A and B are shown apart, each in its own frame.
Chain A
Amino acid sequence: MTHLPYIAGAYGLTLGLAAWLSMAAMLRLSRARSRLRAVEQRGGRMGGRRP
C-alpha cells in the first residue's frame, strides 16, 4: 500500500478521537444517571418530600 503512514495517521486519528468522544459521553451519561438516582433515592427516604 502506498503512502501507508499518512493513511494510518488519518484513520488512527479519526478512530482514536471517535473512541475518546464516545467513551467520554458514555461515562458522563452513566455518572449523571447514577448521581441523579442517588439524589432521588435520598429525597425519597427523607419522608417523600418532593421539591
Chain B
Amino acid sequence: MDAIRTLDATDPAGSSGPDRSQRRRVGLLHRFANPGRFLRLAARLQPWTNALALVLTGWGLIWGLFFAPADWQQGDAVRIMYVHVPAAWLASAGYVALAVCSVLSLVWRHPLADLAAAEIGPVGAAVTAVCLASGSLWGKPMWGAWWVWDARLTSVLVLFFLYVGHIALLRAFDEPQRGYRAGAILALVGAIDLPIIKFSVQWWNTLHQPDSITLTGAPTMSTSMLWPLLISALGFSFGFAAIVLARLRAAVMEQRLRVLLLSRGNAAAGAPS
C-alpha cells in the first residue's frame, strides 16, 4: 500500500483555503476519495455490484422478453425497449458522472476524479453505441428506416461523439495532467447536450416518441411493461457501476505500479525519488 500512500500524499486541494469549515469539507471529500480507501471500499463493493447487475438484468430481460405483453401497435418489436431505454438512460447518466468527475478534477484537482473520468468515458461510449444501435434496430421495423435526422437521435449521436472526443483528448497529450484538464473542460462544455437530449422531443416535432416515464407525471405505459423496464434499468445501472468500478480499481493499481517502478528506477540511478 506504500505507493498508494504516495498518491494519497498529493494534496490536490492545496492548503491555501483559510476557512476552517471549507478545509473540513475538502478533507472529508478527500477522505472518501483517496486511492487507498477507494481500493479497500471498492474491493468490498465489487462482488455486490456484480451480483446485483447479473440478477437484476437477467430478471428484467427475461421478464421483458418472454412474459411482458406485446404492444398492440408495435407487436413484439416493443421488447427492444428493455435494452434500448436502459442504455439511453445510462448514456446520459454516465455523462453526468463524467461531468461531476470533471468538476472534482478542475476544482479540487483530485487524481482519483481524473482516473474515474478516464474510465467512465469508454463505458459511456459503449452504452451510447448500444442505445443508437438498438434504436436503429427498433426504428427499421417501426419507421421503415434505420436512421432519421431527428432531434432526439441526432443529439444522442452528438453525445456519442462527445464521449469519443473525450477519450481521444485524454490520449492526445504527452503529459497526462494536461489531457485530464482538457478532457474535463470538454466534458463540462458537452454537458449542454444533456438537456437538449431530454427536451428534444418537446422542443421539436420529432419522429421519436415523447417520454413515457417522467419524474413529475404518471407513466403512460402499462405496469406489466413498466416493471420489467425498471428492473432491467436498475440491473444495467449496477452493470455500468460494476464495470467502471473494476476498470477504476485496475487504473489505480496501474498508477501505483508506475509510481513504484519509477521510484525504484530513480533510487537505482541514485537520483532523489
Contacts and interface: CB of A to CB of B under 8 A. Distances in A.
Interface of A: 1-4, 6-7, 9-11, 13-14, 17-18, 21-22, 25-26, 28-29, 31-33, 35-36, 39-40, 43, 49-51
23 contacts: A1-B76, A2-B75, A4-B76, A6-B80, A10-B84, A10-B137, A11-B61, A13-B130, A14-B87, A14-B130, A17-B126, A17-B129, A18-B57, A25-B247, A26-B246, A28-B250, A29-B247, A29-B249, A32-B253, A32-B257, A33-B250, A50-B2, A51-B263
A7 B130 contact: no
A6 B140 contact: yes
Contacts of A36: 253, 256-257, 260
A3 B134 contact: no
A27 B18 CA distance: 45
A39 B257 contact: yes
Contacts of B77: 2-3, 6-7
A4 B75 CA distance: 10
B79 interface: yes
Contacts of A28: 246-247, 250
Contact of A40 (B57, B133, B260, B263): B260
Given A2-B70, A4-B76, A39-B257, A22 B250 contact: no
B47 to A, nearest CB: 12
Given A17-B130, A26-B246, A10 B257 contact: no
Contact of B79 (A7, A33, A39): A7
Contacts of B164: none
Interface string B103-134: 00000000000000000000100100110011
A32 B243 contact: no
Given A11-B80, A43-B260, A43-B264, 20 more contacts: A2-B75, A6-B141, A7-B76, A7-B77, A7-B79, A10-B134, A13-B134, A14-B130, A17-B130, A22-B239, A22-B246, A29-B249, A31-B250, A32-B253, A35-B257, A39-B260, A50-B2, A51-B260, A51-B263, A51-B273
A21 B130 contact: no
A4 B70 CA distance: 12
Contacts of B250: 25, 28-29, 31-33
Nearest to B131: A14
A51 B3 contact: yes
7 residue pairs, one from A and one from B, having the closest CB atoms: A51-B263, A2-B75, A25-B246, A32-B253, A3-B77, A10-B134, A29-B250
A26 B70 CA distance: 37
Interface in B247-273: 247, 249-250, 253-254, 256-257, 259-261, 263-264, 267, 273
A13 B137 CA distance: 10
Given A6-B77, A11-B61, A39 B254 contact: no
B123 A21 contact: yes
A51 B75 contact: no
B225 interface: no
